Structure 1
Amino acid sequence: MRWTVLDSPIGEFCVATDGEAIRGAHFGRVESATDQPGDEVTARAVAELRAYFAGELTEFTVPVVVSRGSEFERAVWREMTRIPYGETKTYGEVAREVGDPGAARAVGVACNRNPVPVIVPCHRIVGAGGKLVGFGGGLPRKVTLLELEARVALERAWSPGC
């Protein structure tokens, strides 16, 4: 796997690719990370992330492969990708969606173990009543990501011609 770092509104952000798909992402710099994408998939991932942080991209299309995690965690990660841009769901709602209504805390654990944050949008999952609780990248990053998406979603909803 090759790690590539990019600057973003949430600080340095790294993505790992194997030349065919994104395999991981990390808040902050990974020691072995380079500033230059080494292959087409990495270049595409970096371009999509830059567009996302600029408010120009609302859905990632770069391939992602996650080869770890329990069945439950993988179900939670799949459900995260179904949460529309600019919207949120609670841990309890996600637990119900994956078929285990009493597993809100386990959803939180799965969020914390998400190997591809931002691209697999764990930041869109919030506590009951919309409360901002827990985030592997820290709550300030979560707030920044949610504010970015809310602003872009509002701009798109209210722009002329819609």
Structure 2
Amino acid sequence: MSTDRGLPAELAAVTAGEQGAVAQLRAALLAAAGAEGLIDVAYRVVDSPLGALLLAGTDAGLVRVAFAREGHDSVLESLASNVSPRIFRMPARLDPAARELEEYFAGRRRLFDLPLDLRLAGGFRREVLAHLPEIGYGHTASYAAVAALTSSPRAVRAVGTACARNPLPLVLPCHRVVRSDGSLGGYLGGPEAKALLLDLETLPPR
């Protein structure tokens, strides 16, 4: 009897066993590397109503949430350049972030309670990001209104840039920032994603 790949069943079983052993060895090596502090950035990919989301974290906290349209490989390369090349796929380290995002999309969470690593945003951008959680769930604020909260109240365009480069979308809710005329404006995840999120936040709790 042969498998679909044309291998004898006995050989296929051995191959599967070897793959399991390799997976176990890899897990053990990653655990040891983590215990020794040799992993600077852990990442995983989760499914969501917006498509696949890349989550990345450091010892300081969640450092990146990335949409598929950004190119996850490109995001990982950027993290390697700007944070550390010691990046490994370690889903368990991102379990809290994955769980809170799942709760958010299910309508059971309105605020995120995660440690954040904001090293990818500095200066005025970080100032803007700090004000985003002040926009309540189910509400919006204009770019001008957010600028008015900062040390540069006329820097409306810079607020737009800060939102467009937000390394932690969803968690820092730049999707709630819209144009003064009420139109959505741009969004890193695309206009459809922004509209979906705003619609989600107007639904009654489940």
**CA distance in structure 2 between the partners assigned to 1:50 and 1:11 by the alignment:** 13
Report % sequence identity: 36
Aligned to 2:100: 48
List runs of 5+ in structure 1 lacking aligned partners: none
In the alignment of these two chains, the number of paired residues is 151
**CA distance in structure 2 between the partners assigned to 1:67 and 1:20 by the alignment:** 10
Residue 22 of structure 1 pairs with residue 22 of structure 2: no
**CA distance in structure 2 between the partners assigned to 1:50 and 1:64 by the alignment:** 18
Mapped contact 2:58–2:117 kept (Cα < 8 A): no
Aligned to 1:88: 140
Residue 37 of structure 1 pairs with residue 91 of structure 2: yes
Aligned to 2:110: 58
The aligned amino acid for 1:69 is A
Q: Indicate the structure (1 or 2) with the bigger Cα radius of gyration.
A: 2
**CA distance in structure 2 between the partners assigned to 1:30 and 1:19 by the alignment:** 21
**CA distance in structure 1 between the partners assigned to 2:48 and 2:120 by the alignment:** 27
> Could you tell me how far 1:20 is from its partner in structure 2?
4.4
TM-score (structure 2 length as normaliser): 0.69
C-alpha change, 1:124 and 1:110, in structure 2 (3 Å) is: same
Q: Stretches of 4+ moved more than 6 A in 1?
A: none
Which of the residues 24, 44, 49 maps onto 1:4? 44
SS of the residue aligned with 1:99?
coil
> Could you tell me how far 1:30 is from its partner in structure 2?
2.0
Larger fraction in helix: 2
List runs of 5+ in structure 2 lacking aligned partners: 1-40, 77-87
Aligned to 1:104: 156
Residue 115 of structure 1 pairs with residue 167 of structure 2: yes
> Could you tell me how far 1:19 is from its partner in structure 2?
4.2
TM-score (structure 1 length as normaliser): 0.86
